[in-house]
Structure 1
């Protein structure tokens, strides 16, 4: 009797399916009916040559926008000259133009510089957006003169009366400076390093226009 019960229990245990473990995943066969892409439906290939002009145009547009953002064109607000000023310009400006060795006080980023043709300017900052060889027009001047005559602006001279151009020579750096900062009753010492950059300009030309430039 006991042997038959044991055999019956073993048969039931063998026939009863065991529950799958919690950490096992069901194995699913890969379906062979998955649609595949046709050989004719290929991704269009775009050559790099077709994109090169657009990329160059985009780069040039970005550079122009950056330059315009750095140095926006701000027109001068010139008040109409009086009758005495017009008469003085019409009479004395040709004499000022006839004398050589003209000079002017150019304003670059709000700083005045007394220059003449051939002078070099060392700006106390690094001018962004320029490279060596660029030609800049300085259109802000408060004084324009020669040996015997001087034209004074209020505050600036009309940019139509003169033309001053400067060539960018490059940038310079000073030697590295180290300053030791200490505080009273403290043993710690802090080192502050500084290395300033400068922009070099050379005044290439200074020309004075006649009274006809302003309609006199």
Structure 2
């Protein structure tokens, strides 16, 4: 019994030849052949007929710089005012966009204007010459200024009818944690005008006045 136990202990201490080593010896592996592919050929830019590098009379302009208008746009008519101003003056029912202290008003002859302020230095019955207008027109024709129409083309006059005042407004103003109250009173006044005259001049009148 003891001999058998001793033999088993010796077998455990001695390295067994049956166990394979942890690291196998390095073996040289012959490399396999690589698959060869065809070389990549870059595409060569071929000149296109519609993409001429330097456009001349015989070649077409490049697509990126092609003109939006193949033909030059027509030039504006130099004498359009001479041709169309008599037609504008001949039609009845003229309208005008006048500017008074920066406020535009679209009016006709006989209309009333209530200015949002009291115009200083005027009295009821005074006649004012309005010489700033951006648009003058009739039913079929319109003349636009850049930014204003020449004052020699038209003649617009307004009569001061008087001054209107709104009802007295009282507003109570208070402050936080204060018992004091203050009353703010306001009663705005407005000037009323009436367009008494609106004429569109002809070329003869313009030349005579100039």
TM-score normalised by length of structure 1:
0.58
1:139 alignment counterpart: 131
| Superposed displacement of residue 88, structure 1 | 1.0
Where 2:176 maps in the other structure, the secondary structure is: coil
| Superposed displacement of residue 169, structure 1 | 0.5
The question of 1:109 aligning with 2:107 is answered no
User: In 1, distance between residues paired with 2:78 and 2:202?
Assistant: 12
- After superposition, residues 62-73 of structure 1 pair within 5 angstroms as none
Assess if the C-alpha contact under 8 Å between 1:89 and 1:211 holds in 2.
no
User: In 1, distance between residues paired with 2:129 and 2:139?
Assistant: 24
Cα 1:148/1:210, change in 2 over 3 Å: same
2:193 alignment counterpart: 201
1:69-117 deviation line (CA, Å, top 9, x unaligned)? xxxxxxxxxxxxxx94641101111111111110101111111111110
| Superposed displacement of residue 126, structure 1 | 1.3
- After superposition, residues 1-216 of structure 1 pair within 5 angstroms as 84=76, 86-215=78-207
Where 1:159 maps in the other structure, the secondary structure is: coil
| Superposed displacement of residue 211, structure 1 | 2.8
TM-score normalised by length of structure 2:
0.60
User: In 1, distance between residues paired with 2:98 and 2:77?
Assistant: 22
| Higher share in helix | 1
Where 1:91 maps in the other structure, the secondary structure is: helix
User: In 1, distance between residues paired with 2:113 and 2:78?
Assistant: 33
Q: Which runs of 5+ in 1 are unaligned?
A: 1-82
| Superposed displacement of residue 213, structure 1 | 4.4
User: In 1, distance between residues paired with 2:177 and 2:113?
Assistant: 45
User: Aligned pair count?
Assistant: 134
Assess if the C-alpha contact under 8 Å between 1:103 and 1:144 holds in 2.
yes
Cα 1:86/1:209, change in 2 over 3 Å: farther
User: In 1, distance between residues paired with 2:130 and 2:157?
Assistant: 6
Cα 1:85/1:158, change in 2 over 3 Å: farther
